[in-house]
């Protein structure tokens, strides 16, 4: 595949409502879109790094720097590539910075699949024609407010509810949901807000029969998670701790969790996603696709990877209307009455870009000829 040029676009979109996690409240999303122009097609990649270095080490600004000054020159120096998976090796000298790597590799995958005339899902070995969507709910001010919000999403048809938690916004909130809604499919996400000093809290939470507890301990930990998992019955799901297939191998070997959340941006691209997916499948460990307040392109890539066979739980892949007044994807992602979204069959990501909104949300761009 001969690359003609790569275009980076700086983008910004306002959230419909503020989204609060244990580390920050976001009211808008700054991100980048990568365009890979190759042989008459354009492949799109999404850089999901947020504007604060609180989820991982990256921000939208640092990711732009890494893409512009390192990854694109490295790709240019490598010359023509035959398959997008080669980007993983080309980018290997750059440590971490996985959101930046995933964005460019995602554009390569989309362009390559379009040249082959197949969907991105088919190109990576996906099997499903639709994938289940769950809803992720930010931290609410009171349990009563959380009940109100959850009730609204259950009425919209969501079957899996995920709530963000942090110290002081945890046990009573989960208890209120169980008392109000019974045995709905419920999970919590701590985004690394706790330590082993909170082990008694998580033992008490076993009574609620949660689907999983996502990333309760430090963002780079697999040792203490092993100790916590051994002490509780509820499955621990690792998120921030898993930045590569090698991280996943070590965590599984230690028994640090029973489930892994795979995010394209967090692990550095679709090639790494496949490696983690296959490793977990071989060991009988289920995975699912998490989200990063994804906009159009990132959501399209998430839908594709969620079609892989070992992605067995509902995913953070909601309809376009969940976070955004108007996303720049055509058609918009919709959820059916079974809480599922369709996997596109058209070549590449299977969606078109709304040119009006694409330009409206863009506030800067730079082009690099090959």
Is the CB of residue 33 less than 8 Å from the CB of residue 353? no
263 part of the active site: yes
CA-closest candidate to residue 100, choices 65, 127, 131:
65
CA–CA gap between residue 214 and residue 188 (Å, rounded) = 6
Candidate list 29, 101, 162, 164, residue with the active-site label: 164
Q: Is 56 left (phi over 0), alpha (psi -120 to 50) or beta?
A: beta
DSSP string, 146-208: HHHHHHHHHHHT--EEEEE-BTTBSHHHHHHHHHHH-S-EEEEE-TT---GGGHHHHHHHGGG
Those residues whose C-beta lies under 8 Å from the C-beta of residue 24, and which sit 6 or more positions away, are 50, 52, 54
The torsion angles phi and psi of 355, rounded to 5 degrees, stand at -60, -35
Candidate list 101, 263, 274, 299, residue with the active-site label: 263
**78 in helix, strand or coil?**
helix
DSSP string, 230-272: HH-SSPEEESTT--SHHHHHHHHHHT--SEEEE-HHHHTSHHH
Q: Which residues are catalytic?
A: 164, 263
């Amino acid at each position: 595949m001969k690359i003609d040029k790569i275009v980076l676009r700086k983008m910004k979109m306002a959230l419909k409502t503020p989204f609060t996690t244990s580390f920050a409240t976001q009211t808008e999303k700054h991100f980048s879109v990568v365009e890979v122009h190759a042989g008459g097609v354009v492949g799109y990649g999404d850089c999901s790094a947020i504007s604060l270095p609180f989820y991982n080490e990256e921000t939208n600004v640092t990711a732009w720097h890494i893409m512009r000054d390192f990854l694109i020159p490295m790709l240019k120096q490598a010359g023509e590539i035959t398959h997008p998976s080669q980007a993983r090796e080309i980018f290997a000298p750059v440590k971490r910075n996985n959101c930046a790597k995933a964005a460019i590799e995602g554009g390569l995958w989309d362009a390559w699949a379009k040249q082959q005339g197949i969907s991105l899902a088919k190109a990576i070995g996906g099997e499903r024609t639709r994938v289940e969507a769950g809803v992720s709910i930010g931290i609410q001010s009171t349990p009563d407010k959380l009940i109100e919000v959850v009730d609204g999403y259950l009425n919209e048809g969501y079957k899996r509810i995920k709530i963000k938690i942090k110290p002081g916004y945890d046990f009573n909130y989960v208890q209120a949901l169980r008392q109000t809604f019974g045995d709905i499919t419920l999970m919590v996400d701590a985004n690394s807000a706790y330590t082993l000093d909170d082990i008694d809290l998580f033992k008490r939470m076993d009574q609620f029969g949660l689907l999983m507890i996502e990333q309760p301990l430090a963002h780079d930990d697999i040792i203490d998670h092993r100790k916590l998992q051994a002490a509780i019955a509820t499955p621990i799901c690792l998120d921030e701790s898993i930045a590569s297939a090698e991280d996943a191998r070590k965590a599984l070997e230690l028994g640090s969790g029973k489930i892994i959340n795979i995010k394209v941006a967090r692990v550095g691209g679709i090639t790494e996603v496949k490696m983690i997916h296959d490793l977990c499948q071989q060991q009988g460990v289920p995975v699912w696709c998490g989200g990063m307040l994804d906009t159009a392109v990132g959501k399209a890539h998430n839908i594709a990877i969620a079609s892989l066979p070992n992605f067995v739980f509902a995913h953070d892949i909601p309809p376009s209307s969940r976070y955004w007044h108007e996303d720049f994807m055509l058609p918009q992602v919709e959820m059916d009455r079974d809480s599922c979204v369709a996997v596109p069959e058209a070549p590449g990501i299977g969606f078109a870009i709304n040119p009006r909104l694409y330009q409206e949300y863009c506030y800067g761009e730079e082009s690099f000829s090959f």
